[in-house]
Structure 1
Amino acid sequence: MNMQERLDRINELYRKSKAEGLTTAEKEEQDKLRKEYVKIFRENLRGSLETIKIQNPDGSIIDVKERHDEKMKLKAKKELEEAKKNGN
């Protein structure tokens, strides 16, 4: 089942659930399809984000993932320093 077919079936089950309700099997199918859809969507988004490059003000080019990792390290360092400052 391709992405569009999956989405069409999710929508069909949603409309049916509002109109007349779903059987247990249909509810299970709906849940399974939604989980598959979200998983595929996240994988596609992650793949797209991994190909994006950012140009820093100094002209250097960096991957989005590298930039994110740098920001997370700085944030963790800042939180650690603040915790030490507050005596935690």
Structure 2
Amino acid sequence: MSENEHMLAVRSRINDLAAKAKTPEGLTEAEKAERADLRQEFLANFREGMRSQIEMLQVIDKDGKEVTPEKVKQIQRDKGLRDD
């Protein structure tokens, strides 16, 4: 199973548990624990993806000059993504 397929399965299971939580029977303690674990996994994956996108960011102003924040430039240099 690819990472994307895995995360789709995680999201689907979170949604299933959310729907069940709204029913009169609610969630068992085991399901509540599973939901918490799945949420943590989903958020960690989301944060990593967002971090990766930001680290690849290059900001150009309206005059065509690069104005990428220095912190982002340094991260890119550390990862070998920049030569300057």
TM-score normalised per structure 2: 0.69
> What residue is the counterpart of 2:80 in the other structure?
none
Q: 1:46 aligns with which of 38, 51, 56?
A: 51
Q: Does 1:6 align with 2:6?
A: no
Larger radius of gyration: 1
- Structure 1 unpaired stretches of 5+: 69-88
RMSD over aligned CA atoms reads 2.3
Q: Specify the alignment match of 1:22 in structure 2.
A: 27
Higher relative strand content? 1
Q: Sequence identity, in percent?
A: 39
Any runs of at least 4 consecutive aligned residues in structure 1 with deviations exceeding 3 A, and if so which? 56-60
Shift of the alpha carbon at 1:66?
2.2
Question: Structure 2 stretches of 5 or more lacking a match?
Answer: 73-84
Structure with the higher helix share, 1 or 2? 1
1:8 Cα deviation from its structure 2 partner: 0.1
Q: Which one of 33, 42, 48 corresponds to residue 38 of structure 2? A: 33
